[in-house]
Amino acid sequence: MEFGFLKWIGHAAFIIEGEKRIYIDPFKLSKSFGDADIVFITHPHFDHLSIDDIKKVATKETIIVAPTEAKSKLASFNTFLAEPMKKYNLNGIEFETVYAYNVKKERLNFHPKRNNWLGYIINAGGKHIYHAGDTDFIDEMKSVKCDLALLPVGGTYTMSVEEAIEAAKAIDAKYFAPMHYRALLGREGSKEAEDKFKKEVKNSILLKEVQEPSYSF
């Protein structure tokens, strides 16, 4: 399967190109890659909700989809507040929301379930892309069905690569790709994580970044 309509722009940031232009968690954009129809924000941490980067791609007509807790930070934008485990249709773009949270004891304060932060399953021209957000391997993933699952593998704040491998075994997806790890793991650690993910996850793919990678915040 080809995913030429999807571009990885680093960290957890992506563009989906089709009849509509969709951004997910734009961060550290070297430029605008074109005006957005919709921007999906998974949660309000600085590396996922970046006002400076949203301004680079948003027009007055752009809809910013975000969890309720992000409302105050997005007050100057055309914002749609979404809740977990719901289905929506905005301007012809269909998507579902999935919880994104930590369950590991050492991470519980980073992404608590009570915050109602989000992952998204976006219908992009009939192909369903699951962006898991910042999360551990959670029970809600077992009900996800998609064509491509984008899973964080950096550890510390989200799943480690080993935990992401276990998540991939539970998710009903045709393909899997890691994200949210290069700035955390550095060059050598990133290569090791990619090799392990590729070896252990059937139908895994490694996406190429369209910007020069940034390995530190």
Q: For the CA atoms of the chain, what is the radius of gyration?
A: 16
Give the list of residues 6+ apart from residue 92 with CB closer than 8 angstroms, or none. 19, 20
For 182, phi then psi, to 5°, come to -65, -40
Find the range with the poorest average confidence among 1-5, 129-133, 140-144, 196-200: 1-5
Report the alpha-carbon distance of residue 195 to residue 203 in Å, rounded: 13
Q: What is the pTM of this model?
A: 0.95
The mean pLDDT of 135-144, rounded to a whole number, is: 98
Is residue 217 predicted with pLDDT exceeding 50? no
Render 103-122 in DSSP notation, one character per residue. -SGGGTTTS-GGG--EEEEE
| Three-class SS state of 130 | strand
Q: Does the pLDDT value for residue 3 go beyond 50?
A: yes
Distances (CA, A) of 69 to 31, 43, 105: 27, 8, 23
Is 20 a residue whose pLDDT tops 50?
yes
So where are the chain's domains?
Answer: 8-200
Across the range 183-199, mean pLDDT stands at 92
Q: What is the mean pLDDT of residues 23-27?
A: 97
Among candidate residues 24, 2, 19, the one with its CA nearest the CA of residue 10: 24
Q: What is the pLDDT of residue 65?
A: 98
List pLDDT tens digits, range 76-121: 999 999 999 999 999 999 999 999 999 998 898 899 999 999 999 9
Where residue 1 falls among pLDDT bands split at 50, 70, 90? low
Position 12 pLDDT exceeds 80: yes
Q: What is the CATH class of 8-200?
A: alpha beta
